[in-house]
Amino acid sequence: MKTLERYIIRRTAYAFTLTILAMTGVVWATQALRQLDLVTSKGQTIVQFIGITMLALPFLVVIVAPFALMIALILVLNALSGDSELIVIDASGGSRFLVLKPVMIFSGLVLALVAAFSIYVAPMGLAQLRTEVTRVRADLVANIVKPGRFISVEDGLTFHIRNRSGKGTLDGLLLHDTRDEETAFTYQADTGNIIETVDRTLLVMQNGTIQRRPKRDGDISIVRFQSYAFDLSNLIPEAGEPVFKASERSTANLLNPGRNDEYALKNPDKLTTELHERFSQPLYCLAFGLIVFAFLGQARTTRQSRSIAVLGAICACVLLRTAGFGVTAVLDGTSRLIWLLYAVPMAGTLLASVSIFRNQRGGQSKWLVNLQLALQDRIEAIGQRLSGHRPGGHA
């Protein structure tokens, strides 16, 4: 690899790393807020909350990586032009492909990263996320430990606690049990602890009373205790096997789902669409790399504005990916137009490649010139309105 290629790849890798970390962090924060009930209503600690929501990071990387690549290439190519390095390469007789080669090498590396995440890592993370969420929702301890609320675990059994300490101790515990046909029991205790044994879950209460009241006629009897264990084992629901959606299944499972898989039998088109989407998503990395180079890979003097080219590259990439998202939405539940998943990124790749090769032969593509001129005219008109001037006259 030549010195120039290593130089461009090194700068792009640095910009890409910082960009993808920042973008993924922002997107993760917004998605994590949707799972905030794991802490507020399910009794999970902040460490468990972060660990569970981090399982979705590989999936977010698949979505964010092409845009991070776009931003990194824009920063690097714009810097190369601002430092007159592209002009020096062009003046020395160097071809544009001297810069295009490292851009394509790095785009290929990002494509391989996204492909690995899309095909293997992201589905594995989403599947584990589904498993953890199912476990939390079936966790009896998490469901009853809600300070200040009366929680009905099942018909005739109600829990209430005043507070939960940092050590897991339940303060001000009240348990009302009317499941017995003849007698109602009310348990009150200063503190309590939920203890997991080998085959049982016990609520051990300290310093409290048991009120025994016949449902028919009879006197209430009160028994004081120092320690009393209430068996919760028969109240723990069966967590069951989680039902994995198409995006949460491994690629091998999408290719060959089980014969008795109820979800697969009811949604075969969704499995097919998800499978092809995993293989088509990495193609956007190559398309974005070529699009950015088509707009910004040409040497320009310091008097030639590159802001229009930067805006054009961003708009073209965003429109291309939006079209991809639109195709995914249209294909929801059907696989007749599955080829569009590949057609959209390949169309962007083809148009950018044609523009680059035409420009290499001496003339910039007409559609690219027209787009840049239209954007420039529009921006100038907006600037004149904001400054109070009109074309051909004075304010």
The contacts of residue 82 (CB under 8 Å, 6+ apart) are 302, 306
Judge if pTM exceeds 0.85. Answer: no
Report the C-alpha gap between 371 and 316 in whole angstroms.
Answer: 10
- What does 206-225 look like in DSSP terms, one character per residue? EEEEEEEEESSS---EEEEE
Write out the two tokens for 351: 């148009």
- Spell out a b/e string for 284-318, using b for 16 or more CB atoms within 10 Å of the CB, else e: bbbbbbbbbbbbbbbbbeeeeebebbbbbbbebbe
H/E stretch holding 290? helix 283-296
Report the C-alpha gap between 50 and 64 in whole angstroms.
Answer: 20
Give the residue ranges of DSSP H helices in 145-231: none
Write out the two tokens for 320: 């291309």
The answer to whether 16 touches 70, Cβ cutoff 8 Å, is no
Nearest to 13 by CA among 72, 85, 77: 72
DSSP 191: E
What pLDDT does 257 receive? 83
What pLDDT does 347 receive? 94
pLDDT along the chain (395 residues), means of 10: 82 94 88 65 65 86 94 90 72 73 93 94 89 68 68 80 76 87 89 77 88 82 89 63 81 85 82 90 94 82 67 91 89 76 93 80 54 65 67 47
H/E stretch holding 194? strand 183-196
Report the C-alpha gap between 237 and 134 in whole angstroms.
Answer: 12
- What does 7-70 look like in DSSP terms, one character per residue? HHHHHHHHHHHHHHHHHHHHHHHHHHGGGTHHHHTT---HHHHHHHHGGGHHHHHHHHHHHHHH
Using a 10 angstrom Cβ sphere, with 0-12 exposed, 13-18 middle and 19 or more buried, the burial of residue 352 is buried
Beta carbons within 10 angstroms of residue 108's beta carbon: 14
- Spell out a b/e string for 363-383, using b for 16 or more CB atoms within 10 Å of the CB, else e: eebeebeebbeebbeeeeeee
What pLDDT does 394 receive? 47
DSSP 284: H
What pLDDT does 137 receive? 61
Write out the two tokens for 86: 């592209």
Report the C-alpha gap between 297 and 308 in whole angstroms.
Answer: 13
What pLDDT does 362 receive? 47
Domain boundaries, the chain: 3-137+243-364, 146-235
Report the C-alpha gap between 140 and 232 in whole angstroms.
Answer: 9
Using a 10 angstrom Cβ sphere, with 0-12 exposed, 13-18 middle and 19 or more buried, the burial of residue 20 is buried
Report the C-alpha gap between 292 and 307 in whole angstroms.
Answer: 13
